[in-house]
Amino acid sequence: MTTASRVSHRLAVVAVVAVCAAVGATGVAQAAGWAIFAVAGSNAQTQSVHPVAPSGVTATCTSRFTARTITVTWTGTAHASYQVFQSTTSSTSGFALVGSTSATSWTSASLSSATYWYEVAAAYGSTWVSPRSVATASHTIASSSPYCS
């Protein structure tokens, strides 16, 4: 690599760092469901790009007295599919994959008596998966009326 191309490459990385720094103190720029991190390595050449977790994730009881189902919705991003995770342990642990969809909502099968939390991750192809979203508020399926709250 010539001296001119090394200088040009370093200037490009510095420009990305400057853009990220202008966006916020964290050095993270967000656009269309992606986060771009520019991190100075030994030669100021290291950078990382990954999808951003879905936002606005909510869960709603959709069938209070019969099928006892919960619908999870979120704000989507272009070209993503989504993975839905469920926990009956807590809002911070015990999550397992329960569904995948290309839509921005997902409805559970009929649920048994328990308290449920949900998280959603965005997937782009088979190799790019975002971190999971913040867990939804809890919803409890009871054995008595009303079944879902």
Separation in Å, CA 96 to CA 43, 50, 64, 132: 40, 22, 24, 12
Residues of the chain with CATH 2.60.40.10: 55-141
Q: What does DSSP assign to residue 95? A: -
The DSSP result for 41-65, as a single string, is -TTS--EEEEEPPPEEEEEEES-TT
Whole-model pTM over 0.85: no
pLDDT tens digit string along 96-149? 999 999 999 999 998 888 999 999 999 998 888 999 999 999 988 887 766 777
What CATH code would you report for 55-141? 2.60.40.10
